[in-house]
Amino acid sequence: MKILVCISHVPDTTSKINFTDDNSKFDTNGVQFVINPNDEFGLTRAMWFKEKQGASVDVVNVGGAETEPTLRKALAIGADSAIRVNTAALDGFQVAKQLAKVVQDGGYDLVIAGRESIDYNGGMVPGMLAGLTNANFVNNCINLEVDGTNATAVREIDGGKETVATTLPLVIGGQKGLVEESDLRIPNMRGIMMARKKPLTVVEPVDANAETSAVAFEKPTPKGAVTLVSPDNLDELVNLLHNEAKVI
């Protein structure tokens, strides 16, 4: 079984976020980038298929050379090879078009993508990719088993879970549940050293126009000042809640 894991290069949630060009562009200066968490769950599940069923695992990213450290981390975790499509990720449709070409050229049986990335939270790429490659699709996937060309998946739905049976080729939009957080792997020194010798292929993009663009970004409203009240001064607390906060 050939598996392709889609890897998004996203800002660490602890990074301080700023914007430039009149709040129309994301400022990458000083920002630490990581593997998108939903993709990391998928990569770990792919490693399970590699170890238990002898699957081959490739990883792919759409982005510039600055994304290669993230791909190298995926190689250090255990992926066999990496592919970088040499173009900026502009929107969901443009990314899906690039990934579809990689899938078609590689003849992959299973494509594991994250349900969404934590930067733009678009949630569009897995479904578009399945449509462009004529593959079956399961979104919000929290468990996956493969037996030959047959697959059984569990997905999250409103108020519960749903188990579905399908066949390869298959694209899933994965999330936590494919594996638990405790199962995620931290690259060890041996893995890091081996990752340097594994192939990282750069391919040129296909023609694909972005269908959307960011007009402006806006930060959340800063939290207001906190007023501390002594536990012995209940009258002041009641007064502030009534006259200032107006919650009682």
> What's residue 222's pLDDT?
83
The 10s digit of each residue's pLDDT in 80-89 is 999 999 999 9
Tell me what percent of the chain is helix, strand and coil, each rounded to the nearest 5: 30, 30, 40
For residue 120, being part of any structural domain is answered with yes
The 10s digit of each residue's pLDDT in 228-238 is 888 888 889 89
For residue 168, being part of any structural domain is answered with yes
Residue 173's Cβ-count burial label (10 Å; 0-12, 13-18, 19+) is: buried
Q: What is the mean pLDDT of residues 2-7?
A: 98
Structural domains in the chain (count): 1
Distance from C-alpha of 185 to C-alpha of 179, rounded to nearest angstrom: 11
The 10s digit of each residue's pLDDT in 101-149 is 999 999 999 999 999 999 888 899 999 999 999 999 999 999 999 999 9
Residue 2's Cβ-count burial label (10 Å; 0-12, 13-18, 19+) is: middle
For residue 54, being part of any structural domain is answered with yes
178 three-class SS: coil
- The whole model's pTM is what? 0.88
- The alpha-helical segments, DSSP class H, found in 54-124 are 68-77, 92-106
**Residue 160's pLDDT band (cuts 50, 70, 90):** very high
- Given a contact cutoff of 8 angstroms between Cβ atoms, the answer to whether 86 and 125 are in contact is no
Q: What is the mean pLDDT of residues 154-183?
A: 96
> Is the per-residue pLDDT at 170 higher than 90?
yes
> Is the per-residue pLDDT at 96 higher than 90?
yes
For residue 37, being part of any structural domain is answered with yes
Q: Structural domain of residue 188, as residue ranges?
A: 2-216
For residue 49, being part of any structural domain is answered with yes
Mean pLDDT score of the chain, rounded to an integer? Answer: 94
Positive/negative CA dihedral, 117, 123, 125, 129: positive
For residue 235, being part of any structural domain is answered with no
> Is the per-residue pLDDT at 99 higher than 90?
yes
Q: Please report how the helices 37-53 and 68-77 are oriented relative to each other, as an axis angle in degrees rounded to 10.
A: 40
Q: What is the mean pLDDT of residues 36-50?
A: 97
Q: What are phi and psi of 5, to 5 degrees?
A: -110, 125
For residue 9, being part of any structural domain is answered with yes
Q: Return the exposure string of 141-169: e unless at least 16 CB atoms fall within 10 Å of the residue's CB, then b.
A: bbbbebeeeebebbbbeeeeeeeeebebb
> Is the per-residue pLDDT at 213 higher than 90?
no
CATH number at residue 206: 3.40.50.620
